[in-house]
Amino acid sequence: MVPRRVRRTGLAAFALGLGIAAAAQLAAPLATPPLYDGVVVVQPYVYVNPPAGKPGGAKGASAHLALSGSRSPLVALATPEQPPQAQVVAGDGTLVLPATATALDVSITPFDPSVDAAAASTARVLGNVYRFAVVDQAGDAATAPAAALVTVVLRAPEDAPDATLGQLVDGAWHPLKSEPMFGSTYVAVVTSFGDFAVVVPGASTPSSAASSSSQASSPAAEPAATTPGAGGGSGSGSLPPANVIGAVVVLALLAFIGVAALLRARRGRDDRRRGGGW
């Protein structure tokens, strides 16, 4: 016979799963049942100025975040590709804001690395350069201490053994301490924003496509895909569905831990009453 405490734990876990599924459906309703086939479709890398035979039309992303007091909101912004080619993540309260800040404008803008010929002599860029901006309503930039673990994530069009995230500083690419992830993606902790790319040692070689492109002198002409809220929501401060689901999952896990602790405490009392037996 199954012990009562085991049945209770199973029922609690079942109720937790139903709760998470219901919350996800309410936050992001689906007209049809989802297909859980375990296959993630990876789209080809999209260029601002594509080489021959490669897709173009890279997009950016942007969000306007309202502030509540002087504390920075959660920032989680990504470009629309699958998987995203550029992302920035900053936890709640981790950014150092200008004293007069009342709102934040967060943007990711792709452009062709051939824009900066001087930088091309310091490293070879894999894919696009992405400009990350996190500024207040007056255009003053936010920063972050290293301990805040604010991260920039970039995807490269190819795997390269010596690849790393680089930040453009004073006209030269400076490699950052970064970690490779799945799908030719790299992540690094940053303390300031600006221009970032996946780079490898060695000078870039100019391509015929870059020299002939009308986009080679300015950031990508493709308009940024506006995201109505990156962790902080729209101007009203509401959370997007993804963050609602994330919050629900965290709360549900905390609730499950509490239920498990309660069951363990109750079992201990029962064991003491029975002299340690079942």
**Domain boundaries in the chain?**
4-37+243-273, 61-238
Confidence band, pLDDT 50/70/90 cuts, at residue 42:
confident
Q: What is the pLDDT of residue 109?
A: 97
83: preceding bond cis by omega (within 30 degrees): yes
- The residue among 104 and 277 whose pLDDT is bigger is 104
CA–centroid distance for 33 within its chain = 26
pLDDT value of residue 19: 61
Which range, 91-105, 115-129, 257-271, is most confident? 91-105
Question: Is the pTM here over 0.85, yes or no?
Answer: no
CATH 2.60.220 fits 61-238, yes or no: yes
Beta carbons of 197 and 173 less than 8 angstroms apart? yes
38 has a pLDDT exceeding 80: no
Interatomic CA distance for residues 47 and 117, integer angstroms: 18
Helices (H), the chain: 4-27, 117-120, 208-212, 241-273
What is the end-to-end Cα distance of the chain in Å, rounded? 12
Q: Which residue has the higher pLDDT, 192 or 239?
A: 192
- pLDDT value of position 181: 87
